Amino acid sequence: MDNRPVLYYDSGIGGLYYGYCFSLKNPHEKTICLGDRANFPYGMKSKEELIELTISVTKKIIALFNPKIMALACNTASVSALNELREAYPDLPIVGTVPAIKPAAAASKKRCIGVLATKRTISDSYISELVKQYGPDCRTESIAAPELPEFLEHRWADAGKTEKYETAKYYIEKFRERGADTLVLACTHFPLMREEFEAAAGDEIKIFDSVEGIRTRIESLLDADNGRLRHDSNTVQKALMAVTGESDPEPYWKKITSRFGFELIKA
């Protein structure tokens, strides 16, 4: 048995929803999410910058929290730096975030997959490689939305239902015009608005994300070797949201973390 935490690392609040979904199914595991507030956003950084940054932040994560498993709950960082991160820390199981191209390709009847992501994710060859592997007959329509992570990071918790819906609808209409009938939310921030994306899409476009895929992958690692990495307590563990940065977190951070039942701490 191993009572160390499972840690979700993202550039901001995106990993919080992933960690929340994991903790709901695994309440006896200690779950920590880390938002790299000091270096947000990741989407406009170069591949080289992201490799250096994620290695540095992970070093801090290991020193502070000593996780037994770490999920790199950031599509941008995963497509840019996952291999280098695993090489730097071979003793730490690291689960990357893979855009949900496989199920989207399987579900697409028009053979046209929409991908909504950051500029860095879309520019990486990893997306096209996934399409070649799982949907070689599919056309891909990709849209970079650098302003959407900013909205979700700083305004989502205070925004009304109408604003959230209209924000999602704006992108849905772009993909509808391009003929996509499946849409991959290829940024971990975006599932926070999955409900709005689905409402705007109706029956014409099916929405996919990697939340459940990451959760089940982590669970498989915990259950391997007769549950060697599982927590030995039957007590529900308090989930934590840690944020980086020299200054104290803004009140907005407390609002959004408490919404998911996490305790906010400074990393």
Q: Which two tokens stand for residue 260?
A: 């998911």
Give the active site residue among 33, 74, 112, 138.
Answer: 74
Give catalytic status of residue 74 as yes or no: yes
Q: How many CB atoms lie within 10 A of CB 177?
A: 9
Contact 31, 9 (CB under 8 A): no
SS3 for 238? coil
Angle (CA) 51-121-195 rounded to 5° is 125
Give the list of residues 6+ apart from residue 129 with CB closer than 8 angstroms, or none: none
Q: Which two tokens stand for residue 72?
A: 């790199």
* Residue among 264, 260, 266, 208 at smallest CA distance from 22: 260
Residue with tokens 């509808």: 176
Give the active site residue among 33, 112, 138, 187.
Answer: 187
Give catalytic status of residue 187 as yes or no: yes
Residues annotated as catalytic are 74, 187
